[in-house]
Structure 1
């Protein structure tokens, strides 16, 4: 990741922009709807064999599945566990990536080399393959799923923060602080962390988008949330056999996954514009 200064005299409004606000609004709407799902819709497990595979209608806006369950209700409830997994994993992965990036920048040498090699190794192994291996051995309850989501997401934050942190520690005011007797902890707390914090907030949104897509992929493969509890990826998998006759079973939950992931990306881009201010951010993993 590199940060490029704009020409002198150029003024930039410190705002997340229209796209950022759209992303924030959509994300807030999705979170609120799933959070208050019990107050908005019925029971996602309720079956009605008189309305099996009904097309979208006034009574069932998203249609019904092969057991007569309301797809809208299951889609709303399907985001509860998925978003909880995504939020926890994104938070842990971002803090882990930040910690390793700061550690390497502050100490340099073999420590920086080791953290960089760990990131390279992680990138060399596809996240979905790693998830399949790990979950096959330790099961697919909440904690193991969070672990594989963290393993698949921490590198993004690490790569976003590492380059900037290494550039900061080479600045003259950091050297002056060292000469004045400041230790690594004081330098990190007073100078390094405030400098990388804006990029950290951007990285959190990117990690969340990555974790959401990975969690949905695990659900699609049957390694995520288990039936009958609804999950977006699991619902897409359940509807793939009836795509030609009842596409709504898979299309609507799949569409919600895409919309949520795009909202996170838009919010991340907006935060980059807001926090970096008069600078343009170029990311190596995501623009």
Structure 2
């Protein structure tokens, strides 16, 4: 016999969601505690012990072609993907959410212009757009964040716009408009609460895209530059030694895999939770409607 969940009881994610949360937490802790956990300076070179295997000469994960400790570089290298990914997701999410709210609420020509702009953006390959912006804007962390945010905002825009168009017809929104409530108050108090959960789930899933894009651009030489520790750059530096010193490229590659899988698992679980809540609300509404009709 199943028991209904109590109103005040917190949501407990399943095994997949818990795994994703743990993986994300580990990567975040690695980045935050890098100065404490790193056994060596990530930039210090030891040419006497280059390409050392894991566990040799006091290096738990080995060294790279310049004798730099891979564990230290792995810990510090988590900072750039996380920083760029999170900031880009926040910027792209805020822009897409704001434009989606305005487009869905205003409708008419503003909706047409913004929708066509999003369609054009989605039609352009992300890598091509990134190459164009980085070529003319220069290679810096700020430009890299801008590129990733530019390629991400249309997803938030389309989802939020679609949701706002549906909420726009709700009785409580129509009542606010009829009473002459200011537009910003309608957007802030009537429409925004209806899209916050959707945006949160989208942002969690979008983090993996942002991290992979940062790593890919850095791999191509358009992101962090040597000798900075960065997972994408570390993979690029070790790709030529996969047969003789596989740990140089595999170690940061596993870090990227853990971060991406963690974000995806947590995002999918949050999405399932949102679908479950919407289904429950729909069932309640149908039940209430049926009872009122019967009465």
Fold similarity call, TM over 0.5: yes
Alignment deviations for residues 29-64 of structure 1 (CA, whole Å, 9 cap, x no partner)? 111111110111121011112221122226323221
Q: Give the CA RMSD over aligned residues.
A: 1.9
SS at match of 2:49: coil
CA distance in 2, matches of 1:83, 1:90: 10
Q: Distance in 1 between matches of 2:167 and 2:177?
A: 13
In 2, Cα distance between equivalents of 1:128 and 1:168 = 35
Between 1 and 2, higher relative CO (CA 8 Å, sep ≥ 6) is seen in 1
2:18 paired with 1:25:
no
Match of residue 283 from structure 2: none
TM-score between both structures, scaled by the size of structure 1: 0.89
Question: In 2, Cα distance between the equivalents of 1:156 and 1:250?
Answer: 32
Following the alignment from structure 1 to structure 2, what is the Cα–Cα distance between the partners of residues 159 and 43? Answer: 45
Q: Is the 8 A contact 1:15 1:274 kept in 2?
A: no
Specify every segment of 5 or more residues in structure 2 that has no aligned partner in the other structure, as ranges.
280-295
- 1:50 corresponding residue in structure 2: 48
Q: Name the structure 2 match of 1:120.
A: 119
1:215 CA displacement = 0.4
Measure the CA separation in 2 of the matches of 1:11 and 1:95: 36
Distance 2:198 2:115 in 1: 19
Contact 1:106–1:184 (CA under 8 A) maintained in structure 2: no
Provide the rounded CA distance (Å) in 2 between the counterparts of 1:241 and 1:17. Answer: 40
Offset at residue 11 of structure 1 (A): 6.0
Partner Cα separation in structure 2 for residue 11 and residue 165 of structure 1: 31
CA distance in 2, matches of 1:63, 1:83: 24
1:33-48 superposed matches below 5 A: 33-41=30-38, 42-48=40-46
* 1:277 CA drift (Å): 4.2
- Give structure 1 stretches of 5+ with no counterpart: 1-9, 281-287
Q: Which residue of 2 aligns with 1:134?
A: 133
Contact 1:93 1:207 in 2 (8 A): no
In the superposition, relative to structure 1, how do residues 124 and 11 fare at CA in structure 2: closer, same or farther (>3 Å)? farther
Kindly tell me: are residues 105 and 171 of structure 1, through their superposed partners in 2, closer, same or farther at Cα, counting changes over 3 Å?
A: same
Contact 1:16 1:273 (8 Å CA) reproduced: no
Q: Which has the higher helix share?
A: 2
Shift of 1:275: 4.6
Matches within 5 A, 1:127-166: 127-166=126-165
| Separation (CA, whole Å) in 1 of partners of 2:102 and 2:47 | 59
1:82 matched to which residue of 2? 81
Distance of 2:182 and 2:137 partners within structure 1: 41
User: Any conservation in 2 of the 1:62–1:248 contact (CA below 8 Å)?
Assistant: yes
Q: Which residue of 1 aligns with 2:177?
A: 178
In 2, Cα distance between the equivalents of 1:129 and 1:75?
29
Q: Secondary structure at the match of 1:55?
A: coil
User: 2:78 aligns to what SS in structure 1?
Assistant: helix
**Separation in 1 of the partners of 2:219 and 2:150?**
19
Q: How far apart are 1:201 and its partner, in Å? A: 1.0
Partner of 1:72: 71
TM-score in terms of structure 2 length = 0.86
Secondary structure of residue in 2 paired with 1:278:
helix
Structure 2 equivalent of residue 5 of structure 1: none
